[in-house]
């Protein structure tokens, strides 16, 4: 079975023993993880995310108070 590395589009033969699949190499695999981590950081630093988080915290505090009273 042939497929393409999602990172560099190199055509590869499927190898179930390849520890980097679906990527062609460790370099492609790690590069993708780095990009993903950067996306996560961007998301976490965005004002929308802060709003979501503070909303979640308020909801959790409300739940804790319901238990207390």
Site string for Zn ion, 19-48 (x = CB under 5 A): -----x---x--------------------
5, 28 Cβ separation under 8 angstroms = yes
Q: How far apart are CA 25 and CA 9, in angstroms?
A: 12
12: contact with Zn ion by CB under 5 A: no
Task: Give the integer Cα–Cα distance in Å for 22 and 1.
Answer: 12
Which of 3, 8, 42, 53: binder of Zn ion (CB under 5 A)? 8
Q: Which is nearer to Zn ion, 8 or 53 (CB)?
A: 8
* Shortest distance, position 38 Cβ to Zn ion, whole Å: 18
Q: Which residue has the tokens 């780095």?
A: 34
Q: Tokens representing 22? A: 């679906």
Binding-site ranges for Zn ion (CB under 5 A)? 5, 7-8, 10, 24, 28
């Amino acid at each position: 079975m042939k497929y393409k590395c999602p990172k560099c589009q190199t055509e590869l033969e499927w190898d179930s023993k390849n520890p980097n699949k679906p990527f062609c190499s460790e370099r492609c695999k790690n590069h993708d993880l780095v990009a993903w981590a950067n996306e996560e950081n961007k998301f976490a630093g965005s004002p929308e995310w802060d709003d979501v988080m503070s909303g979640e915290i308020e909801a959790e505090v409300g739940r804790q108070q319901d238990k207390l009273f």
